Structure 1
């Protein structure tokens, strides 16, 4: 049976739709993008993720034609697009503010670009009807933007952006204005629409959860450089460095020194008076090399007694508890002063917690539970 997994980046024959080749962008003496190379494939939902000022919006603006690279080249479908004005590119951009025309109806907002291109009336009507259906706005065609909700306005902006069937749609923090619940619903809608249209989406966001939910691949950026480009599960489970481990989700990071003990097992000496920890790594570390062990709180088990046969077990007392409904996060302080977070699912409705403040507890995790990273 043929696999249906979508992973063109693993196919050496696949030609990228977008190609950044050694792109540098300077504004005066400031380097916003620093010698960056990246391939994005057709039908991808690609996320540029990073803190403010990391260069993700500059990359998007270069794709949209609002900025040109200082050095290097950007290709779209094999053609160099540097110097091609925004309206001549098969690219559309959906802005954070949605930029809808307040005096035009939803229908006319969606039709605007098609009419400007001089498309025949019946073709415009058919395409607008298709876009209204795609974004579930059929009932709202005659309303003005101020007569619909924020989530609906966002869908109008999306319908307008997709009406001209661009090869590439750029989305700049598209969910920044929505509340958390609506944001989550909209993320799934966006994925659904992207899949139905087959348009390549590139989204800029600083929200890790959003990037991890919607994207086929995520590029984690910092200071104009790509730190890691991978699928969301690889970014989360196999970060390549401390920056990525720390930037995505919640994590415990323990600093120590590594010594090889088996084929791929390392002993980590990390705190005075604490037993060494054990972790596996396929990347070679030198004996005595400084290292970081990154462990997700959900991989750490909390228990009142030391678990039998546990490879990694540390003792401490509960310092803080964050109750999040479905899970509780326990902050446990060890004798060395290190605080480690452990997460437990709240499977039952609890009348009282299993652990409370100041309780002595053991934390444990498996030898493969953490990711060992070079220091």
Structure 2
């Protein structure tokens, strides 16, 4: 059975769940969010990604109702939520600190919001049991928060946030307190839970790997603006700017001047005395226009012999090797002093290293391997 691909943003008939329409947020003179327009769809796992101070938490706090909009408006399910107080929005927020009640058991923490909503005892019991099952904490229902691990506390906070079945769950750096291994496990749990409940999740993170793992789409932000919104694969393969290319994953950036050399083909003059680089692009660049070529290290081959068939090949020497088990990244210094990273997959255990430090090597890549970006 082929699953239909979840991509409501490509369907012009789909109505977004959340609309930011020309939203600006000022704190005195400081512009935290700058004329931002964005649609997020029901059942998305949407990530706001960017460095500290880029405005992602401010966006989330406006959705939750903790901050008001200075200009523009935010709609949730077609309703302008500006005048709606936080406790009346179909939105819940899970904080990085989890904010659990230390004196209440896991069960009572999850039941807290339901009790405040004056639900019947039977309803509360059924819902809390359902939530405990969802986050696999049935055995820990009677424990207090200090008697369980950080990862389990994180799941209690998640269960409590989802107990009232919000349309939208906001997660502010939810995995920030967990160690790397647990973070990775928890990312997959989050994805499963999001899929099971069908709740729309919006996550704020500065961890690019996390955003790329969990999200249906990622908005890369800088200084109160969204630079690019796309699926993780599209952001990685087709960044729209040097900022995005550099922010996500490892990348080589080469500055050059473009010369059209055929249909969608360019010859890039980059350094005196080096042959031009061949590149392709669907975007049009003018003759002599300054450009950046962004190439991922895994798209660059490294070899001891000169390759016969490569569009681009140049010689250098190995300056450094980062060995990461399944991958090795070689830092190759060109005669010009520029350093290019090339990555290879280690498919077998390395009994003998073919290429080591200070070795002369050839690096090569195809004309289609890189992305041409405006200067």
CA distance, structure 2, for counterparts of residue 109 and residue 30 of structure 1:
38
**CA offset at residue 352 of structure 1?**
2.9
Partner residue of 1:302? 302
Listed as ranges, the matches of 1:1-375 within 5 Å are 4-375=4-375
SS at match of 1:321: strand
**CA offset at residue 72 of structure 1?**
0.3
Q: How many residues align?
A: 375
CA distance, structure 2, for counterparts of residue 199 and residue 354 of structure 1:
51
CA distance, structure 2, for counterparts of residue 88 and residue 144 of structure 1:
29
CA distance, structure 2, for counterparts of residue 47 and residue 105 of structure 1:
31
Change in 2 beyond 3 A, CA 1:362/1:2: closer
**CA offset at residue 168 of structure 1?**
0.1
**CA offset at residue 3 of structure 1?**
5.8
CA distance, structure 1, for counterparts of residue 137 and residue 272 of structure 2:
63
Post-superposition CA distance 1:158-211 (Å, at most 9, x none): 000000000000000000000000000000000000000000000000000000
SS at match of 2:122: helix
SS at match of 2:262: coil
**CA offset at residue 351 of structure 1?**
2.5
**CA offset at residue 217 of structure 1?**
0.2
Query: Root-mean-square deviation (CA), in Å?
Result: 0.9
Segment drifting more, 344-353 vs 132-141:
344-353
SS at match of 1:227: strand
SS at match of 1:111: helix
CA distance, structure 1, for counterparts of residue 224 and residue 348 of structure 2:
46
**CA offset at residue 83 of structure 1?**
2.8
- Structure 1 residue ranges, 4+ long, deviating more than 2 angstroms after superposition: none
**CA offset at residue 347 of structure 1?**
1.2
Segment drifting more, 132-141 vs 351-360:
351-360
TM-score by length of 1: 0.99
SS at match of 1:59: helix
CA distance, structure 1, for counterparts of residue 96 and residue 349 of structure 2:
40
CA distance, structure 2, for counterparts of residue 106 and residue 2 of structure 1:
40
**CA offset at residue 371 of structure 1?**
0.6
SS at match of 1:210: helix
CA distance, structure 1, for counterparts of residue 13 and residue 351 of structure 2:
58
**CA offset at residue 2 of structure 1?**
7.8
CA distance, structure 1, for counterparts of residue 111 and residue 56 of structure 2:
30
Return 5+ residue gaps in structure 2 as ranges. Answer: none
Post-superposition CA distance 1:236-293 (Å, at most 9, x none): 0000110000000000000000011111011001011111111111010001000000
**CA offset at residue 21 of structure 1?**
0.3
SS at match of 1:261: strand
Return 5+ residue gaps in structure 1 as ranges. Answer: none
CA distance, structure 2, for counterparts of residue 306 and residue 253 of structure 1:
23
CA distance, structure 2, for counterparts of residue 45 and residue 111 of structure 1:
25
CA distance, structure 1, for counterparts of residue 83 and residue 237 of structure 2:
40
CA distance, structure 1, for counterparts of residue 279 and residue 31 of structure 2:
38
